[in-house]
Structure 1
Amino acid sequence: MSMKFLPDKPIYQQLIDHIIGDIIRGALAAGEKLPSVREYAVAVGVNANTMQRVYKELEQMEITETRRGQGSFVTENKERIEELREEMKEQLVQSFIQNVEALGFTTNEMVNYLSKRGGNDD
C-alpha cells in the first residue's frame, strides 16, 4: 500500500486526507480498527512519528478514537461521519470554484457544462 506523496502538501496531511477518503468511501467502516501506528507507517513508507501525528490529529478531529490497550478505531458516531462527508464536499466545491474562476470561467458556464456531461445525480 505504499503511497506516492505530493511535494506541495505535508505528508501527514496527505495521510489524513487518505484515511478520511477511505472512511467517506466506506473502505473503512464505523467502528473498524485501524492498523497500529507502526504497521501503517511501514505499509505507506513513512516514519512512525509521522503516523503517530496522523492518528493524533484524526482523534482530535473526532474521526477516530483510541481505546487503551486495543488501538485506534474509526468513530462509531454516524453523525460525525456524515459531517465529514459534507465538510469534504464543501472543500472540493470551493477548490473547484476557485480554480474555475482563476481560469476565467463562470460558475454558470461550468454548471451548464457539467450538466451536459451527465453523471450521477446523487
Structure 2
Amino acid sequence: MDLKFENNTPIYVQIMNWIKEQIVSGQFLPGSRLPSVRDMSEQFNVTSNTIQRVLRELEIEGIIYTQRGIGVFITEDKDKITSLRLNMSNQLVEKFIGSMKLLGFSEDEIVNAVIRISKAGVSDAGDSEDKEFM
C-alpha cells in the first residue's frame, strides 16, 4: 500500500480516504476482506490504534463491516458504494471549481477548460502549448 502522508490532514483520515478510493475504483471489491490490523499498521507504518480508528470510522459510515473472529470486509451494499463514489466525485469537483475561481476563472472558462482537457486527454493537456482556457 503506497501512500505518502501529507502534514495538513490527520493520518487516519488519509488512510480512510485511501481505502475509500480503493473501493470506488474497484481495487477492493464488495465483500472482500481487508488485511488485518497488524498487516495494515505495518504497511502504512502507523500504530495499530490508528488502524483501529480508521476501521471504526469506516464501520460507522457503513463502508465496512466486521465479522468477529473472521475479519473486516468491504460492504456489499452497491447503493452505499455508489453513494460514496458520488460524494467523492462531488468533493473533487467542488475543490477544483473553488481553486479555479480563486485563480479568477469564470464558470464558462472552467467548463471550457474541462472540455478542452478531457478531449485532449489528461496526459496530453499538460504538454499543450495552447494555454488558453476559452
Could you say which TM-score interval applies, normalised by the shorter chain?
over 0.9
| RMSD, aligned CA | 1.3
Could you tell me how far apart the structure 2 residues matched to 1:55 and 1:72 are? Answer: 8
Q: Which residue number in structure 2 is paired with residue 61 of structure 1?
A: 61
Q: Following superposition of structure 1 onto structure 2, how do residues 1-122 of structure 1 map, counting pairs within 5 Å?
A: 1-117=1-117, 118=119, 119=121
Who wins on radius of gyration, i.e. which is larger?
2
Could you tell me how far apart the structure 2 residues matched to 1:58 and 1:87 are? Answer: 15
**Aligned-pair CA distance for 1:113:** 1.6
1:14-67 CA distance string (max 9 Å, x none): 000000000011000000000111110101111110010000000000000001
- Taking a change above 3 Å as real, the CA distance of residues 115 and 15 of structure 1, as seen in their structure-2 partners, is same
- TM normalised by structure 1 equals 0.94
Could you tell me how far apart the structure 2 residues matched to 1:88 and 1:64 are? Answer: 17
Q: Tell me if structure 1 keeps the 8 A contact 2:37–2:52.
A: yes
Consecutive unaligned residues in structure 2, runs of 5 or more: 123-134
1:81-115 CA distance string (max 9 Å, x none): 00000110111111111111111111210111221
Query: How many aligned residue pairs are there?
Result: 120
After TM superposition, which residue ranges in structure 1, 4 or more long, deviate above 3 angstroms? none
Consecutive unaligned residues in structure 1, runs of 5 or more: none
Percent sequence identity is 42
